[in-house]
Amino acid sequence: MPAYLCRLITCLILVATLFCFISVSNADDVVLEIKKTDRCPVCGMFVYKYPKWVAQTNFQDGSTYFYDGAKDMFKHIFDTGKYTPGKTADAIKSIYVTDYYEVELIEAKTAFFVLGSDVLGPMGHELLPFKDQESAQEFMEDHKGKSIIRFQDVTPDIITSLDRHS
pLDDT tens digit sequence for 108-118: 999 999 999 99
DSSP three-state, residue 64: strand
In a shared domain, residues 21 and 71:
no
Distance CA 133, CA 153 (A): 15
Of 26-40, 61-75, 77-91, 135-149, least confident by mean pLDDT is 26-40
Long-range contacts of 34-37 (CB under 8 A, 24+ apart): 34/66
How would residue 12 be classed by pLDDT, with cut points 50, 70 and 90?
A: very low
Provide mean pLDDT across the span 153-158.
96
In a shared domain, residues 20 and 61:
no
In a shared domain, residues 78 and 132:
yes
In a shared domain, residues 51 and 25:
no
pLDDT digits 0-9 by tens, 120-149: 999 999 999 999 999 999 999 999 999 999
Residue 4 has pLDDT above 90, yes or no: no
- For residue 73, give the nearest of 101, 100, 92, 48 by alpha carbon: 92
- Model pTM? 0.80
Per-residue confidence (pLDDT) for residue 25, from 0 to 100: 34
In a shared domain, residues 131 and 157:
yes
In a shared domain, residues 68 and 131:
yes
How would residue 33 be classed by pLDDT, with cut points 50, 70 and 90?
A: confident
Distance CA 100, CA 105 (A): 10
Half-sphere exposure of 116 (CA within 13 A, CB side): 12
Task: Indicate whether 53 belongs to any domain.
Answer: yes
Distance CA 61, CA 45 (A): 24
Of 18-22, 69-73, 139-143, 149-153, least confident by mean pLDDT is 18-22
Query: Domain span at residue 1?
Result: 1-29
How would residue 164 be classed by pLDDT, with cut points 50, 70 and 90?
A: confident
In a shared domain, residues 140 and 80:
yes
In a shared domain, residues 143 and 87:
yes
Task: Indicate whether 38 belongs to any domain.
Answer: no
Per-residue confidence (pLDDT) for residue 19, from 0 to 100: 38
In a shared domain, residues 53 and 125:
yes
| Total number of domains in the chain | 2
Residue 157 has pLDDT above 80, yes or no: yes
Residue 27 has pLDDT above 70, yes or no: no
Task: Indicate whether 42 belongs to any domain.
Answer: no
Buried b (16+ CB within 10 A) or exposed e, 89-101: eeebebbbbbbbb
Per-residue confidence (pLDDT) for residue 62, from 0 to 100: 92
Residue 16 has pLDDT above 50, yes or no: no
Task: Indicate whether 35 belongs to any domain.
Answer: no
